[in-house]
């Protein structure tokens, strides 16, 4: 009994120590963002926190870039859900020839290096006038979000018993009527989680925004990097920008932590 207690407490102690080690790099960024500019180079923990850096960061083009990030991520999430959810339902309910190939196609889409998309998209966007637009950005985010939606939602629909939809059919509902009234409400938590995952993935993007936007549709991650290049190295401002960009993601993560792995491994693991 006693030795078991000791072992349990050792486990907790190691885990707690690891938490501090793992979190400290991120916490340092937060501390730095709150430091007064006069001792930004200091490493003491005793300082009077100030929001001065945030006020600095939230001027100029940064608020607008935050808005671009928000619109591109939201638009891409909505489109991916609208197009992807019915497809996921079909894949969950219908066996057909070529299903395996469709699955593989979706998996490769998720895996392909972004640079492979960027080169053709850059040329096409220049030609179509979608360069440096939020719509163009939202569209390229659909390439990875759609794969995610189809795969995770298929998993959720698989878990909805078919007998309920069959009952609705017998009552005269059409296939999509039964889908909308029975299957979709039952898969609603999954739908919310999938939507949030899409949003996080789009929000976190740096590469596509770096290449496909300039000024008009620049997203927040690119704007922070611009703090580095043009304004010299104003570390306080950079840190405040970084914290601003990571906060929404942290909030959302708490909501979807249970689905994180199945979302990120979408298509590669048969559940």
Where in 217-236 is the site for other proteins (CB under 8 A)? 221, 224-225, 228, 235
Q: Which span sits near other proteins by CB under 8 A: 46-54, 121-129, 130-138, 184-192?
A: 121-129
Quick one: 248 exposed, middle or buried, by C-beta within 10 A (0-12, 13-18, 19+)?
Answer: middle
CA dihedral 221, 232, 46, 246 (to 10 degrees): 0
> Of residues 89, 125, 151, 199, which one binds other proteins by CB under 8 A?
89
Q: For Cα atoms 59, 249, 112, give the angle at the middle one, nearest 5 degrees.
A: 105
Q: How far apart are CA 216 and CA 147, in angstroms?
A: 28
Q: How far apart are CA 144 and CA 207, in angstroms?
A: 13
> Of residues 6, 11, 181, 255, which one binds other proteins by CB under 8 A?
11
CB of 248 to other proteins, least distance (A): 9
Residue 159 touches other proteins, criterion: CB under 8 A: yes
> Of residues 22, 55, 128, 164, which one binds other proteins by CB under 8 A?
22
End-to-end CA distance of the chain: 38
- What is the distance, to the nearest Å, from the Cα of residue 98 to the centroid of all Cα atoms in its chain? 30
Q: Which span sits near other proteins by CB under 8 A: 47-55, 128-136, 157-165, 183-191?
A: 157-165
Q: How far apart are CA 176 and CA 240, in angstroms?
A: 47
> Of residues 5, 59, 113, 129, which one binds other proteins by CB under 8 A?
113
CB of 43 to other proteins, least distance (A): 5
Residue 174 touches other proteins, criterion: CB under 8 A: yes
Residue 17 touches other proteins, criterion: CB under 8 A: no
Compare residues 70 and 210 and give the one whose CB is closer to other proteins. 210
Residue 97 touches other proteins, criterion: CB under 8 A: no
Please say whether the beta carbons of 71 and 254 come within 8 A: no
> Of residues 55, 61, 164, 176, which one binds other proteins by CB under 8 A?
176
Q: Which span sits near other proteins by CB under 8 A: 10-18, 46-54, 57-65, 185-193?
A: 10-18
> Of residues 175, 180, 226, 234, which one binds other proteins by CB under 8 A?
175
Q: Which of residues 47-86 bind other proteins (CB under 8 A)?
A: 83-84, 86
DSSP string, 139-156: HHHHHHHHHHHHHHHHHH
Q: How far apart are CA 252 and CA 33, in angstroms?
A: 21
Residue 257 touches other proteins, criterion: CB under 8 A: yes
Beta carbons within 8 Å of 83's beta carbon, 6+ residues apart: 142, 146, 149
- The CA–CA distances, whole Å, from 212 to 70, 209, 222 equal 16, 5, 11
Residue 254 touches other proteins, criterion: CB under 8 A: yes
């Amino acid at each position: 009994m006693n030795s078991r207690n000791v072992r349990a407490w050792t486990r907790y102690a190691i885990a707690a120590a690891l938490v501090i080690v793992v979190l400290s790099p991120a916490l340092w960024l937060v501390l730095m963002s709150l430091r007064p500019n006069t001792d930004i180079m200091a490493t003491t923990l005793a300082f009077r926190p100030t929001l001065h850096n945030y006020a600095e960061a939230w001027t100029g083009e940064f608020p607008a870039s935050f808005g671009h990030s928000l619109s591109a991520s939201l638009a891409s999430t909505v489109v991916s859900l609208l197009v992807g959810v019915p497809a996921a339902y079909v894949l969950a309910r219908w066996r057909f020839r070529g299903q395996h190939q469709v699955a593989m196609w979706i998996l490769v889409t998720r895996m392909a290096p972004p640079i492979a998309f960027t080169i053709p998209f850059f040329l096409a966007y220049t030609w179509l006038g979608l360069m440096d637009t939020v719509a163009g950005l939202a569209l390229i985010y659909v390439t990875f979000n759609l794969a995610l939606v189809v795969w995770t939602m298929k998993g959720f629909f698989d878990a909805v018993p078919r007998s309920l939809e069959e009952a609705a059919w017998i009552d005269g509902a059409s296939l999509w009527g039964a889908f909308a009234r029975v299957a979709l409400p039952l898969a609603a938590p999954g739908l919310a989680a999938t939507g949030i995952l899409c949003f996080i993935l789009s929000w976190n993007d740096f590469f596509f925004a770096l290449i496909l936007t300039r000024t008009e549709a620049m997203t927040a991650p690119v704007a922070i990097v611009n703090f580095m290049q043009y304004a010299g190295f104003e570390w306080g401002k950079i840190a405040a920008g970084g914290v601003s960009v990571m906060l929404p993601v942290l909030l959302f993560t708490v909501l979807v932590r249970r689905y994180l792995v199945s979302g990120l491994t979408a298509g590669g693991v048969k559940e």
